[in-house]
Each structure stands twice: as structure tokens, then as C-alpha cells.
Amino acid sequence: MSDDTLTLARALNYAAEMHRNQRRKGAAQEPYVNHLIEVMELVARVTDGQDAEILVAALLHDAIEDAGATAEEIEARFGTRVARIVVENTDDMTLTKPERRARRIATMADKPADSRVVKIADVVSNLRSLVLSAPAGWDIERKLNYLEACRQLVDAGRGANAALEALFDEAVAEVEAAVRGDRPMNIDGREEALRHLEVEMGQHVHLVYLPNTQLRWLTGADIQKLAQEAAIFFPSAAIHEAHATFDGKLRKILLARIRTDDSDAVVAFGQRLCLAFEQEFVGIEVGGRYIRVYADDTD
């Protein structure tokens, strides 16, 4: 086994471990590591797989921002260049989302080509997901606004890799046509169908899970607050106390059981709860399917 193959295997294992409890924010809820592997594959394709360090950085590009890794840890494991690329692809999460977006665009041109390659591959992967499995509640206008922000970012960093930039341009055309026309999208010669949150309307019961991501003790005041928030959207709701385990921790949670024919209202309710209760995400079960609505999808 070559040193590069061993290093990639170690990086994949590390990425899988760091992101083990994370899933993509779309309705399909794919394991997050799928995205990391896709970004690595895109980078490998346009660099002929000859640069192991940039492939490792592609796998780890979200390890600091989303999984709590440190630059020092990544440098100790995989070297200075990998750590530098990951840092240059990490947002300052103390900023608001519009501020982070503006900073990404403003600083893109000044980054080394290898960092821009990883970022553009990340953008291509995210654009594909925008069609294949968009976050709950994203309408056409929001998808098109996101596409335009991606276009501005990549345009600011052009010159890093012509083949990858051509893949981006192809993805933009396919995504825009799919979003506007609600049709399948072509990816590498394959027709990929759009995935919608399919709900058979009627008198279905929808469950909304307040997951207590802070692991605090929930009180009667929390129950009352949840009931008040539900009343904004629905004429009636049943509120339940329960226990749940995830991320290896047992915690008290609250459930809202709602009967409605408006699945968009259930999504909007979940988004509001993210803010009202300062939750990283809220779980929604619609028509027997479970999805997560995330706090950073509410602005």
C-alpha cells in the first residue's frame, strides 16, 4: 500500500468519525460523509488524483466548522498544507450568515489555488443537493438566490482550475433549468430525479420534535411556550413530554402532535421553534418520513 493511499484511508476514517452523527440538511437526510466524499471525488477528477494532500483537505474541509476539530489537530495528523486549506475553507461562525457570505466572496480571489479548488468542488456538491435534496421549506426563489450567491463566489475565484470551473458552469445550468422547470437534472450523463418531500394530504398526524439540544431540564413554562408557538400556526395541537436518546445522551424532549393538511406550515413551525428555543435543529415527521429543520435555514 502506498503512503498516499494510507493517508487517504486515515483521512476518510477521521472524517467519518468526526461527522458520524451528522446528516445533510435536505429532505433525504443523507449521511454527511457522502458530501465529503463527493467533494473529494470532484477534486480528484480535475487534478487526476495526483495530489494526496488536496484530496485529504477536501475530505476534511468541514471538520473545523461543523465537527469541532482544530487546525492544530489536523496539522498534527495530516500536515501544514492540509490544515491551511481546511482553515481557508472555514467560516467565522460568530458572523451572521449574510456577513459570512460576503466575506467568502470578498476573500476568494486572495486564496491560493488549492483552497479555491476545494471550495469550488464544495459549491458544486452543494448545488447538486439543491435539486436532489433541498432543505425543507426552500422555495424556488430561495434556491435561485442561493444559486446566484454560488455563482458570485466562484466567479470571484476563477483561474484555480479550468476543468472544475467548467463542471461548475455545467452544474449551474442544470440546476437552474431543473429548479425553474421542476424537471430531472443531468449529473455526469445520468438523469437524476428531483426529490420532493412527498406527503399524502388529508388528516395525517404530523409530529414535531423539540430535541433539547442544550440538554437542559424542561419545565412547565417550556410546555406553555411550545403550545403558544403552535397556536400561531394551528387551531389545535397535543403537547407531550418524552425522553429520547441521540448523540449517545438521554434527554427530556417535547413533542407536538398536529393534524393539518399544510405540510409547509409544519416546516415553518419547526423553523420558528429553532429560533424560539435556540435549538440547532427541530425534528419533523411528516407522512411517516422524518426530516430535520436546522436553525441556520431560518434566515
Question: pTM for the complete prediction?
Answer: 0.74
Which pairing describes strands 185-187 and 190-192: parallel, antiparallel, or unpaired? antiparallel
Q: What does the block give as the cell for 143?
A: 434556491
Q: How far apart are CA 136 and CA 289, in angstroms?
A: 12
Q: How far apart are CA 136 and CA 94, in angstroms?
A: 24
| Type of residue at 148 | E
What are the φ/ψ torsions at residue 45 (nearest 5 degrees)? -65, -40
Q: How far apart are CA 57 and CA 157, in angstroms?
A: 18
pLDDT for res 200: 39
Q: How far apart are CA 189 and CA 187, in angstroms?
A: 5
Confidence of residue 133 (pLDDT cuts 50, 70, 90): confident
Q: What does the block give as the cell for 198?
A: 412527498
Q: How far apart are CA 73 and CA 50, in angstroms?
A: 24
% of residues, the chain, pLDDT over 90:
56
65 in active site: yes
Is the pLDDT reported for residue 196 higher than 50? no
pLDDT tens string 270-299: 989 999 999 988 999 876 788 888 876 544
Helices (H), 182-289: 220-233, 263-276
For residue 205, list its beta bridge partners.
259
Q: What does the block give as the cell for 36?
A: 465529503
**Nearest to 223, CA basis, from 273, 284, 293, 266:** 273
Q: How far apart are CA 205 and CA 250, in angstroms?
A: 25
243's enclosing H/E stretch is strand 238-246
Is the pLDDT reported for residue 85 higher than 70? yes
Is the pLDDT reported for residue 107 higher than 60? yes
66 in active site: yes
What are the φ/ψ torsions at residue 246 (nearest 5 degrees)? -155, 160
Out of 30, 41, 51, 66, pick the active-site residue.
66
125 CA to centre of own chain: 11
| Type of residue at 136 | A
Out of 30, 51, 65, 75, pick the active-site residue.
65
For residue 188, list its beta bridge partners.
none
Phi-psi region of 159 (alpha: psi -120 to 50; beta: other; left: phi over 0): left
Which of the given ranges, 27-31, 105-109, 182-186, has the highest pLDDT on average?
Answer: 105-109
What are the φ/ψ torsions at residue 254 (nearest 5 degrees)? -120, 145
